[in-house]
Structure 1
Amino acid sequence: MRRADTVLKIAYIPLDNRPCNYDFILKAAKIKGIDIITPTEEKLGKFTTHGDVEYIRKWLMNLRNVDYLILSIDMLAYGGLIASREMELNVDPYGFAESIREFKKNNSNCKVYAFNIIMRTSISVKDEKTYEYWKLINEYSFLAYNEHENFSRIKELEKIIPKSILDGYLKARRRNNEVNNISIDLVNEGAIDFLVLGQEDCDKIGIHLLEQERLLTKIRELGLEEKIMMMPGADEFGQILFVRVLNDISRMKIGRLVYDNDRLKYVIAQYENIPIYETLDLHIKAAGFDINEVNDQIILYVITPKIFDDIIWIDDDHYKYLEGVKAKDVYINDEELDAYIKDHKIIIFDLCHANGGWKELIYFLSENDLLHEIYGYTAWNTASNSIGTALLFYALLYEENKDSKLFLEFLIERFYDDFLYQSIVRPKINKILQKEGENIHLFREFKYNYNMILCELMKKHDEIIKKSILNKPIKILENLQIKDYHIECSFPWNRTFEIKVDVKVQI
């Protein structure tokens, strides 16, 4: 363990340049007063433009005197997460291993914390046609786990899905599985000190389980169970490994976990393949916490998974519940939540459904004048993604050596991004763009000023947040009030799936 006041040199190669992978880490480091170095942002690529792998490998091999390296193997091998699903690359994907070996040789005392993604069970969506293929390949991947039982339907799908698309998907799976195996070998060699194998979007069963089983067998045979962990997720692992670094610097106890419904902690969240309590425990351990050493002063309040998010997009008046969930389970434990917020520091893991915050929860917090009293909130994309950011909030909050103003700005950004955009504004901007004949999965930058439309819609619907924060005693600021705050929003990629939010608070 290192002293908290030691000046460290931390290097970070992110999964791509989206805010969740890039901005979150840089902002977290700034909140804690830690210097962190990354490759130049434009070299990380942008959506369909892959990262500059040759540049990044050279950047890595030229580093010296580094104490920690947080490393996305997918960026180093392919040029990012989107590139990892493609077969046509301008680089040898296997060359990443030698650059890691060379880095470790030049920085023998550096701890290398890496993550590598087990491929999702479908392709990237770039338009309505690929969205249809995305659904069909998901079905194919689901059935492939029991190939003999599902033989006839698999053959039907092979006729429906264009051969080039299905073949490309299956070849990418095989190649990525080889990279997963090489990553394990690098741990066995000592070139990587700790590795997370993250399972991107999947189902309870499917082709991915066949790969997982073989990878886990190899890990056990090599005796690497303490150095390699496998769990659902992808975009959150830079945050998880940053927290692991903070735990190395100054050991933290994990906050007290409270589930809003103890029975529903056994539910499997959408896009994942194990119960939510197992997913949470694995992320906690990967972040360097001992699950048995508990800090009762901070409550980690978990809103359990309940609803399919794609049903919400279709018609939010008629929910489809996750397996094991009934209508009577979809409620807010208002008295309990009210008491925890008033008596403790609380971080809310809103895992009710994927891709956005649970409206009823935010409405409850706003109407009961509680929103300004919480210390962390996250509700973006999959349950695993949100868990990663919630644990980052916890690590930033844990000790006093943080910039409280920057911390508050990061929290307000989550209200605007995870709740306001994903749950309120995104469906509206999708309708506007689709009415104009636009492709929301890969839109044309030159036709409209999409960022202007985005900002107008965000301002139009943000009263619920503003009235809950302005002129309120903010707990994070020791009950000081904020006079105002300024929001800037934009699309980091040419799609409506996510946004970039920056907040500046005036005290």
Structure 2
Amino acid sequence: MKTVLYVPLDDRPANLDDVIVQGKAAGIHIVTPNLSDIKNRLDSEKTVDGTTLLGTSTPVYGKPSKIHDFILKHAAKVDGFIISSDMLAYGGLIGSRQLREDGGGAYPEYDDETTRLLDVIRVIKQKYPRKPVFVMDTIMRLATTSFADGLALDAYNESRALMQQPRQTSTEFEDIIEGYNLSPDGVEYGTTTYFDKEHYYNTRQHKFKTNLYILDQLARTGYIDFLAVGVDDANTQGVQINEIKYVEARINEWLGGTNGQNPDRAIVLPDADGLGHALVARMANQLFRGGARTRYAVKYFGPHGNTIINTYEYMDVHENVVRHVDIVGGVLVADSAYPEPEVV
């Protein structure tokens, strides 16, 4: 049985328990951090006036420094690594969306502590170059987190509605992070009521700098063998689109991609909670089959998937399926070319 170090996105069953069971079924022993170090919870305290809820506070995030140390402690004993950058850098998915008073310094020296944590990926790859290192990252979602740091459902609804509005098209990194609040004609969007818009944009800036650091300093330089970038809670227009296109362009330029994808090095797609499953599948294929490509065929009973785009995604269903096949290390074939597909 192979052993794989796995740093999950957070401790929800979809990202932790299910993945551990999946690994066991594939003959992989999944080693994870202590539960207390990856625990994520929404606000645990409330303020009330009689039966009226006045506010909430005190969310729980993972412990990035403990995750950093866990990786170093177990690196010599495992056969491969699957690491969530959100847990490593921010303490999990909701931690990565925590509103900030500033967006960090100028890239790449934008946050010494964040880059120190991320650089553990460089350390393990340098020390164990033959062990596969897979990383899952996310582009920040549109909405804030409800009931975390005192933000209520009104903040979620207001932020998602505003962030779905179209933005001025930008292709340069600095223009993107400075133009989060600009409509297509260059006019700024108005004030917000239920959340601090500037703090939200600071959070986006910091997270996008982390996205770039992972692509530029770690994947581009060969310290990450495969990178899966999930776009959490997306839309076909809005504040994420420039970020998505920028990531796709960097995959093309730096990682040898075509149309923003490279099945051998990096994929970007609408997903977050499914990335752990997909990378465990890729890891099993790598460790037990040397990366041989399993063929898959897809058949739709009803409208073809390329005619459907989910409300919370920016990519049509069929392309999303293709990208997931890429992540697990497979290849999609036409149904007629493979009459007995392994997966239908």
Bin for the TM-score computed over the shorter chain: 0.7 to 0.9
1:296 maps to 340
User: For residues 219 and 153 of structure 1, do their structure 2 counterparts lie closer, same or farther at Cα, with a shift above 3 Å needed?
Assistant: closer
The match for 1:180 among 206, 211, 214 is 211
Q: Distance in 1 between matches of 2:327 and 2:283?
A: 11
Shift of 1:109: 1.0
User: For residues 223 and 44 of structure 1, do their structure 2 counterparts lie closer, same or farther at Cα, with a shift above 3 Å needed?
Assistant: closer
Q: Distance in 2 between matches of 1:154 and 1:43?
A: 39
Give yes or no for contact 1:11–1:66 (8 Å, CA) kept in 2.
Answer: yes
Query: Which residue identity is paired with 2:134?
Result: Y
Shift of 1:175: 0.5
Shift of 1:137: 1.2
Q: Distance in 2 between matches of 1:177 and 1:257?
A: 34
User: For residues 171 and 190 of structure 1, do their structure 2 counterparts lie closer, same or farther at Cα, with a shift above 3 Å needed?
Assistant: same
Write out aligned runs for 1:300-449 (5 A): 300=344
Q: Distance in 2 between matches of 1:105 and 1:8?
A: 21
> Is the aligned partner of 1:67 residue 2:89?
no
Give yes or no for contact 2:296–2:330 (8 Å, CA) kept in 1.
Answer: no
Give yes or no for contact 1:65–1:107 (8 Å, CA) kept in 2.
Answer: no
Query: Which residue identity is paired with 2:145?
Result: S
Could you list the runs of 5+ residues in structure 1 that have no partner in the other structure? Answer: 1-6, 301-507
**Once the two structures are superposed, what CA deviation does each residue of 1:420-460 show, in whole Å capped at 9, x if it has no partner?**
xxxxxxxxxxxxxxxxxxxxxxxxxxxxxxxxxxxxxxxxx
Give yes or no for contact 2:10–2:39 (8 Å, CA) kept in 1.
Answer: yes
Question: Secondary structure in 2 aligned to 1:9?
Answer: strand
Give yes or no for contact 1:259–1:265 (8 Å, CA) kept in 2.
Answer: no
Q: What is the number of residues matched between the two proteins?
A: 290
1:132 maps to 154
Shift of 1:209: 0.4
> Is the aligned partner of 1:160 residue 2:193?
yes
Q: Distance in 1 between matches of 2:306 and 2:159?
A: 29
1:258 maps to 299
Q: Distance in 1 between matches of 2:186 and 2:255?
A: 37
Question: Secondary structure in 2 aligned to 1:258?
Answer: coil
How does the TM-score come out when normalised to structure 1? Answer: 0.53
Higher alpha-carbon Rg: 1
Shift of 1:189: 1.3
Query: Which residue identity is paired with 1:189?
Result: T
Could you list the runs of 5+ residues in structure 2 that have no partner in the other structure? Answer: 42-58, 102-111, 169-181
Deviates more, 1:283-292 or 1:216-225: 216-225
Question: Secondary structure in 1 aligned to 2:272?
Answer: coil
**Once the two structures are superposed, what CA deviation does each residue of 1:20-41 show, in whole Å capped at 9, x if it has no partner?**
0000111112223321211112
> Is the aligned partner of 1:78 residue 2:110?
no
Give yes or no for contact 2:100–2:199 (8 Å, CA) kept in 1.
Answer: no
Query: Which residue identity is paired with 2:8?
Result: P
Q: Distance in 2 between matches of 1:66 and 1:136?
A: 45
User: For residues 257 and 161 of structure 1, do their structure 2 counterparts lie closer, same or farther at Cα, with a shift above 3 Å needed?
Assistant: same
Question: Secondary structure in 2 aligned to 1:195?
Answer: strand
Q: Distance in 2 between matches of 1:264 and 1:65?
A: 43
Query: Which residue identity is paired with 2:66?
Result: Y
Give yes or no for contact 1:254–1:295 (8 Å, CA) kept in 2.
Answer: no
How does the TM-score come out when normalised to structure 2? Answer: 0.77
1:238 maps to 276
Q: Distance in 2 between matches of 1:191 and 1:103?
A: 8
Which of the two has greater helix per residue? 1
1:318 maps to none
Q: Distance in 1 between matches of 2:187 and 2:279?
A: 44
The match for 1:203 among 208, 211, 235 is 235
Q: Distance in 2 between matches of 1:78 and 1:182?
A: 14
Could you say what the CA RMSD is over the residues aligned between the two structures, in angstroms? 2.5
User: For residues 173 and 148 of structure 1, do their structure 2 counterparts lie closer, same or farther at Cα, with a shift above 3 Å needed?
Assistant: closer
Question: Secondary structure in 2 aligned to 1:35?
Answer: strand
1:92 maps to 113
Query: Which residue identity is paired with 1:291?
Result: L
The match for 2:314 among 270, 273, 290 is 273
Question: Secondary structure in 1 aligned to 2:133?
Answer: strand
User: For residues 66 and 30 of structure 1, do their structure 2 counterparts lie closer, same or farther at Cα, with a shift above 3 Å needed?
Assistant: closer
